[in-house]
Structure formats: structure tokens, C-alpha cells
Amino acid sequence: MAISYAVPGLLDRLLRRETQAVATVDGINIALRHGETLGLVGESGSGKSTILKSIAGLLPPLSGRAMLNGQDDLQPRVEDRVGQHLRQVQLIFQNPDESLNPRQTIAQILAQPLKLYFGLSGQDLLDRSAALLEQVRLGAHYLDRLPSQLSGGEKQRVAVARAFAAQPELVLCDEITSALDVSVQAAVLELLDDLRRDNGTSYIFVSHDLAVVKALSDRVAVLYQGRLCELGSTSDVYSSVSHPYTEVLLGAVLEPDPDFAPTLSAGDVVELSPPTQGCPFQRRCPKRLGPICEEAVPPRRTFSEGHSIWCHREDLSET
């Protein structure tokens, strides 16, 4: 899959000319298993949220496609998707204040998907809404409240309840714990894990917090400048042979130890776009080999079942 934020200019649109857009995200090909949590990690601008938006139909890809259950093509634009696909793929946003209507009660917010997808009304609608709140450990007494009467953690639980009201097969989680206190964050993560086990739901989980990703994910995909650097089980990515960029990320993680000092092995440089050729990490890589990194696309190297690294180095070692 390739995705771009580029928008054709007015003249190009008037003349109906095709423009060559540079892909913000490119070469993403990942199969998600039923009931699995896939963590997406990388610095800001690595394409994590962009991928979620494309899967959700909010940002059509330049090329490629998203498939559901290995056979159903998801239409690129959310407005073109059939009701079944809208129900099966749900997105939970980072900030619940921007996704919950402040003028609607929690009952009205939860009623929307229940009416749309299942045609519930009356007492059935009320009972199901109350059950959803119980499921996210709030309670039926929240139904008459407005979002402004809830704490940040409570609002995020309502957002989770709204997503699960559709009985989805895939839930896209975009930095959903980043604005929460640590204790609330832990409670929301535990809730998500319980819901996954109870409902067999799959997650794609985006976070800057590598400890959170490690705790929740079955597999991890490491992205840099919209390109895939490493993909594997959580245990392999965090403790085995690593891509140089993965080493940089893990080396910068803070530990609750006064004597611990993070290792910044790559230059702290903000890159506005990936290189036009070669390895996407070539400009900052502490293990750069030379011209081959600048000229050739890194090959995919497989180290164990399901663990792949895209790198020119043949001497990758354990971290």
C-alpha cells in the first residue's frame, strides 16, 4: 500500500492532469491475524496514524488496497463502503474530546451505532447501551451525562464502548492512551485486552510509548519515514536481532532508574521527507555502509518465523 497527502493544484484539477505524488507511506504489506494486536511504532511522521486513516477510509491510498478477512476489498473512501464494512472496522481517536459530541448525552452517543447497524430502539436500545457501559466498567448511571461531566479516562472508555457497540472485527487505536494519567492508562489497556479476548477482536495499536506497545501487542511493525524497517513478534523485536533504527528507538527508552542514561545513537534530525532512493534511514543510521545504502532498496532479511528486517547489513547482531 502507498499513501500520500499530496493534493493536486487548482490548474491540474481544471485541466484534469495527473500529478506524480510522492508517497508519504509506501510498501506496506502486512497481514493481520484474527484476534491479534499489531503495534505500530516509530517517531512522529513515520506514517503510523496515516496507515490507520487509510484503513478507516479517511485517506484513500495512492495504490494498493486494504482487505478484510482476506477476501473483501474495503473501498478506499469511507462514504463508498457498505454498511457491513463500516461496522466491522472501527477507529478510536487519540482525543475523545474531538470525537464525542459535547451536546449529546452518553446514551445518545451510544445509540447511534446501535440504531444504524442493528436497528435497536426502545428498551432494547437502552438495555444494550447500559450493557456496553458495564462492559467498559462505567455503569448505566452514566447514560444521562454529557462528555463534559466525565474525566479523560471515562471519556476514552465511552469512545471504546461506542466502537464495540458495532461489534467490530478490527479496531484501530490511534494513540488512545497518550493523554491519560499512568494509572488510567493501565486501566484502559487492561480493558482493551479483556475486550479482545472476550470478542475475538483484532487491534492495530499506534503509540509512541514502547512499553505500552510491548505490553499489549502480539507483533510489532517498526516504521521510519513511512517505510517498514522491521516486523516480527514482540519478543523478537524487543530482544533479538534488530534493525539499526529499532536499536535507536529502544536505546532512547527511559527506565525508572536514577543511574540509567538513554542512548541516542542517531542524530536528532527532523526529516521532512524520505530519500528518493535507497534506505529510508540512511541519513541518520549509525551503521550506514556507504553508497549501497544511498542507492539500493534494502533487502528483506528473515531471522526467524515471522521476523523480518529490511537492511543492507549482513552482520546484524543481537541488541
Given 217, 234, 258, which residue is the final one in a domain? 217
User: pLDDT by residue (tens digit) across 146-195?
Assistant: 999 999 999 999 999 999 999 999 999 999 988 788 888 888 899 999 99
Residue 228 is assigned to a structural domain of this protein? no
- Do 176 and 304 lie in one domain? The reply is no
- Do 143 and 253 lie in one domain? The reply is no
User: pLDDT by residue (tens digit) across 138-153?
Assistant: 999 999 999 999 999 9
Residue 318: pLDDT band with limits 50, 70, 90: very low
Q: What is the mean pLDDT of residues 191-208?
A: 93
- Do 98 and 197 lie in one domain? The reply is yes
Residue 257 is assigned to a structural domain of this protein? yes
Give the domain extent around 317. Answer: 244-319
- Do 37 and 176 lie in one domain? The reply is yes
- DSSP type of residue 279: -
- DSSP type of residue 20: -
pLDDT of residue 270: 62
- Do 69 and 150 lie in one domain? The reply is yes
Residue 235 is assigned to a structural domain of this protein? no
- Do 56 and 137 lie in one domain? The reply is yes
C-alpha cell at 92: 478510536
Q: How many domains does the chain divide into? A: 2
- Do 176 and 104 lie in one domain? The reply is yes
Residue 293 is assigned to a structural domain of this protein? yes
- Do 195 and 319 lie in one domain? The reply is no
User: pLDDT by residue (tens digit) across 88-130?
Assistant: 999 999 888 888 999 999 999 999 999 999 999 999 999 999 9
- DSSP type of residue 318: B
Given 202, 217, 232, which residue is the final one in a domain? 217
- Report which of 5, 29, 44 is spatially closest to residue 207, judged by C-alpha positions: 44
CATH number assigned to the domain comprising residue 192: 3.40.50.300
Cα→Cα distances 241→32, 40, 41, 198, 230, Å: 22, 18, 17, 34, 10
- The model carries a pTM of 0.90
Question: For the chain, how many residues are written?
Answer: 319
User: pLDDT by residue (tens digit) across 209-259?
Assistant: 888 899 899 999 999 999 999 999 999 999 878 899 999 898 876 555 555
Sign of the dihedral through C-alpha 52, 267, 243, 208: negative
Residue 133 is assigned to a structural domain of this protein? yes
Residue 28 is assigned to a structural domain of this protein? yes
- Do 305 and 171 lie in one domain? The reply is no
Q: How far apart are CA 319 and CA 313, in angstroms?
A: 15
pLDDT of residue 93: 92
For residue 91, list its beta bridge partners: 172
Residue 230 is assigned to a structural domain of this protein? no
- Do 199 and 251 lie in one domain? The reply is no
- Do 157 and 282 lie in one domain? The reply is no
Residue 225 is assigned to a structural domain of this protein? no
Q: Name the phi and psi angles at 285, rounded to 5.
A: -65, 125
- Do 105 and 55 lie in one domain? The reply is yes
